[in-house]
Structure 1
Amino acid sequence: MICLKYTNMAIAGLREALCDPKKATKPETVTTAMALCMNDVCNGNMKIWRTHLRGVLRILMALLEHQRVSLKVMNDPFIQCLVKWFKTMDILAALSGVHGECIHNPGNGPLNSLSDHTTWHVDEISGYSLELIPILAEVSNLASQIRLRVAGETGNDYAPSLEMMIQAEELESKLLQLLDRPVCDETLSRGGSIALELQSTHLSFVHSALLHLHRRVQLHPKDHIKVRTDIKNILGALSLIEPHSPMNILILWPIFSGGCETEESEERNTILARMGNMQKLGMGNFTRAREVLRKYWVSGSQLPWDIYLARLGLELVLF
C-alpha cells in the first residue's frame, strides 16, 4: 500500500509537470517518467509499459529539443544518463518480447546525435559497451523475422535464407570484436571489484548476443557446439560477479537466456541459485522470469524460448 501511495503521487506529479511547459522539458520530469515505466515492468504490466515507453521517448525528445533551442550543453552527464537509460530499456524490451523492434532506431535515430566519447568503453549504466546496442537491434530484427516464419510452421524443416545467414555471419564477426572492450580509467581508479564485475557483465551480454544469434537466427539446436560454448562463456562471466553484488541487477537477460538453452542439471542449479539471489531484490520481473524458466524446463521444449513463450501468449521484459 505504501508503494502504491508513492506511485500515485509520482503519477500525479508527472501529470502536473507535463501540463507546465517549463517543467515538461526538465530532466527531472523525464527521470520520473522512466522510473514509472520501470515500475510497470516490476508490476507485470507489459502492455501498458510499452505504451508508456513510447511516451517516455516523446518526453525525452522534447527535453533534447529544448536543450538544443536554448543552446544548453547537449552532453550534460545527467542527460547522457537519461539517454543511456532509455536505450537500455528499449533494446532489452526488443530482445525480450515477441515484437523484436526498438521504439527508437539505435543505429541512426535522433538520440544518437548526442556526443558520447566513451561508447567503446564498458558503460556503467547499461553494463556493456554501447557499441553493442545497434548490433543487438540487428540481431533482434533478424530473429523477429525468423520467429514470424517459424511460429506458423508445424514441422522443423524451416531454414533461414542465404541472405539471412550472411547477415548472421557478419553480426557474429562484429560481436566477437567487442569481447575485449575495457572499462574506463575512472572506473579502474575506484579499485575494488567493480572493474572486474563490470567487465564480466559486458562479456555476459556479448556472449548472450551470440547465443541469441546462434539459436534464434541460425537456428542451431541446444547441443550445437556454438550454443554450448556460448552458455559456458555466459556462466563463466557471471561466476566472476559476486552473488549479492548490485551488478546482478543488470544480468537478468544473460542469465535467463543461458538458463533456457541449457539442459545440464549442474548449470541449471547454478542459474537457479543466482536467480534466487536476484529475486531477493524484490523486483517482480525477476520473480516472473524464474517462474517462466521453470515452466520452460518442465515443458522439455526444443523451441527457442521466445517462440515457446509467444505460442503460450506469455511475455517478459528481461531487465
Structure 2
Amino acid sequence: MIAASSSQLFRITRNPESKSAAISATVECLGNLREAITTPGFGDLGVTILPTTLMLATTCVCAGDTTTFRKHLNGALHIVQRDKAKYSLDPLWWMGLKWLVHMLLMNRLSGLPLPSRQSKGFIDWDYLLTCMPDLGRIDLTSGFSRELVTALNMVCELSEPRCINVDAGGQLQGNDLARSACSHELELRLFELRKKTASTVTDVVLRIELETSHRLFTDATLLCLYRRVDELPKDDPKVQIAVKSIINSLQNIGKQSPVHAQLLWPLLAAGCDSTTHAERTIVVETMESMTARGLGSYENVLEFMRDYWKNGGDMRWDLFAKQTGKDLVLF
C-alpha cells in the first residue's frame, strides 16, 4: 500500500521523494513476498499473497512498466493455481480473483501476444468466473457481469489471429463463416447486456454508476468486436453508434467520480474511434481529471491517444500502438 500510494503521489506532485519512497517500498515488498511464497506453512496470512502481488502489478502498470506488470500477472496466476483449494472461502481471496480477472482482460486488449501463463488453455476461466456474481447481476467491485466477462473473453479469442502478423492462409479463410456467425451471435448477446440493471442496489448514485459502468464496458466490447473481428472501418455506422453510446453514458457519471479509475479502456476505445471535436473534448476532459488525481495510467494513455488522432488515421488503436512501439495495458 505504501508503494502504491507513494507512486500515486508522485504522479500528482512529481516529487522525487515520493518516487524514492515508492521504489524502496516496492523492493521491500518484493523481498517479503518472495519469503512468504517460499515459506512452508505461512498460515492464514497466505491469503494476502495474491492481493499483494496484484497491488505490485497495478503499481507497475500505472508507472508504465508493462514488462514487470506481466511478470507479476504470471506470478498471480501461479498463486491461484497453487492455492485455490486452500482459500476458496476467504472474502479477500475472492476480491483478489475479481482484481485478477479485470487485469487479465485489460492485458488481452493490448493486442500483444500473451505471456506463457496467459496463453490459451492455461487459465481456468471456469474457476475465475466463480468470483463474479450470479448470472444477471453486476459486480459491485468491477462493474462487470459474469456474462460480459465471458463475451469479452470470446471477442478477444476471435480477434487474436488478426492481431498477429502471421499468414494463416486457407485455414483462416476457411473459418470466416464460423467467425462471422459467432460474431453476430456475440453482437446480439451484447445488445441484451446493454440493458442490464442493478435493481437490487438501493443507493441511487451507486446504482447509476454501476449500470453506466457496465454499459460502458459493453459498448467498448462492441467496438472491439466491430473493429477487430468484423474489421469495420471507423466511419461505419455500427462503430459510430457504439462511440456515441459511450460518450452519452459518460454524461451520467460526475467527472470527479472515482469510478472513472476503472474506465480507461472505454474512454480510449471511444476516443480513438470518435470523429468529432465535441466527442474528443468530453473524453479528454474526463481523462485529464483522472490524470490530475494520479489515477491509473491515464497520463500515458492520453498522450498516446493524442498521437493517434494526429497520425493514426483509420487504423485500429491496438495496431497503431504496435506500429509505434507503445505497450498499453488499460488499467
Instruction: Place the TM-score, normalised by the shorter chain, in its bin.
Output: 0.7 to 0.9
Per-residue deviation, 1:61: 2.4
Residue 294 of structure 1 corresponds to which residue in structure 2? 306
Q: For structure 1, which segment, 197-206 or 119-128, has the greater mean C-alpha deviation from structure 2 after superposition?
A: 119-128
Residue 206 of structure 2 corresponds to which residue in structure 1? 194
Residue 203 of structure 2 corresponds to residue 183 of structure 1: no
Per-residue deviation, 1:60: 2.2
Per-residue deviation, 1:273: 0.5
Residue 92 of structure 1 corresponds to which residue in structure 2? 106
Q: For structure 1, which segment, 121-130 or 108-117, has the greater mean C-alpha deviation from structure 2 after superposition?
A: 108-117
Identical-residue share of aligned pairs (%) = 28
Superimposed CA distance per residue, residues 151-186 of structure 1 (whole angstroms, 9 cap, x where no aligned partner):
87xxxxx9x92222112111111211212222262x
Q: For structure 1, which segment, 171-180 or 253-262, has the greater mean C-alpha deviation from structure 2 after superposition?
A: 171-180
Residue 170 of structure 2 corresponds to which residue in structure 1? none
Superimposed CA distance per residue, residues 230-268 of structure 1 (whole angstroms, 9 cap, x where no aligned partner):
001111111111101010111000000000101211111
Per-residue deviation, 1:300: 4.2
Residue 172 of structure 2 corresponds to residue 172 of structure 1: no
Q: Give, in whole Å, the separation in 2 of the partners of 1:213 and 1:95.
A: 11
TM-score (ref. length: structure 1): 0.87
Q: Give, in whole Å, the separation in 2 of the partners of 1:291 and 1:199.
A: 29
Superimposed CA distance per residue, residues 5-32 of structure 1 (whole angstroms, 9 cap, x where no aligned partner):
2222211211121121222871111111
What stretches of structure 2 of length at least 5 have no aligned partner?
Answer: 1-19, 168-172
Residues 108 and 39 of structure 1, relative CA distance in 2, 3 Å threshold: closer
Per-residue deviation, 1:46: 1.2
8 Å CA contact 1:106, 1:137 repeated in 2: no
Residue 323 of structure 2 corresponds to residue 311 of structure 1: yes
Residue 143 of structure 2 corresponds to which residue in structure 1? 127
Q: Counterparts of 1:59-138 in structure 2 under 5 Å?
A: 59-67=79-87, 74-99=88-113, 102=118, 109=125, 111-112=127-128, 114=130, 117-138=133-154
Per-residue deviation, 1:108: 5.5
Secondary structure of 2:35's aligned partner: helix
Q: For structure 1, which segment, 108-117 or 261-270, has the greater mean C-alpha deviation from structure 2 after superposition?
A: 108-117
Superimposed CA distance per residue, residues 17-53 of structure 1 (whole angstroms, 9 cap, x where no aligned partner):
1121222871111111110011110121112211220
Residue 26 of structure 2 corresponds to which residue in structure 1? 7
Residue 71 of structure 1 corresponds to which residue in structure 2? none
Residues 195 and 64 of structure 1, relative CA distance in 2, 3 Å threshold: same
Residues matched between the structures, number: 305
Q: Give, in whole Å, the separation in 1 of the partners of 2:197 and 2:40.
A: 41
8 Å CA contact 2:139, 2:145 repeated in 1: yes
Residue 160 of structure 2 corresponds to which residue in structure 1? 144
Pairing partner for 2:242 from 230, 249, 257: 230
Pairing partner for 1:42 from 42, 50, 62: 62
Residue 28 of structure 2 corresponds to residue 28 of structure 1: no
Q: Give, in whole Å, the separation in 1 of the partners of 2:150 and 2:264.
A: 20
8 Å CA contact 1:100, 1:141 repeated in 2: no
Residues 192 and 109 of structure 1, relative CA distance in 2, 3 Å threshold: closer
Residue 279 of structure 2 corresponds to which residue in structure 1? 267
Per-residue deviation, 1:222: 1.2
Per-residue deviation, 1:128: 1.8
Q: Give, in whole Å, the separation in 2 of the partners of 1:307 and 1:115.
A: 32
Pairing partner for 1:17 from 32, 36, 41: 36
Per-residue deviation, 1:283: 3.9
Q: Give, in whole Å, the separation in 1 of the partners of 2:308 and 2:42.
A: 46
TM-score (ref. length: structure 2): 0.84
Residues 88 and 284 of structure 1, relative CA distance in 2, 3 Å threshold: closer
Secondary structure of 1:289's aligned partner: helix
What stretches of structure 1 of length at least 5 have no aligned partner?
Answer: 68-73, 153-157
Q: For structure 1, which segment, 286-295 or 115-124, has the greater mean C-alpha deviation from structure 2 after superposition?
A: 115-124
8 Å CA contact 1:41, 1:285 repeated in 2: yes
Per-residue deviation, 1:315: 1.1
Residue 4 of structure 2 corresponds to which residue in structure 1? none
Secondary structure of 1:21's aligned partner: coil
8 Å CA contact 2:271, 2:305 repeated in 1: yes
Per-residue deviation, 1:103: 5.0
Superimposed CA distance per residue, residues 56-78 of structure 1 (whole angstroms, 9 cap, x where no aligned partner):
111122221324xxxxxx34332
8 Å CA contact 1:75, 1:116 repeated in 2: no
Q: Give, in whole Å, the separation in 1 of the partners of 2:133 and 2:110.
A: 28
User: How much is the aligned-residue C-alpha RMSD, in angstroms?
Assistant: 2.6
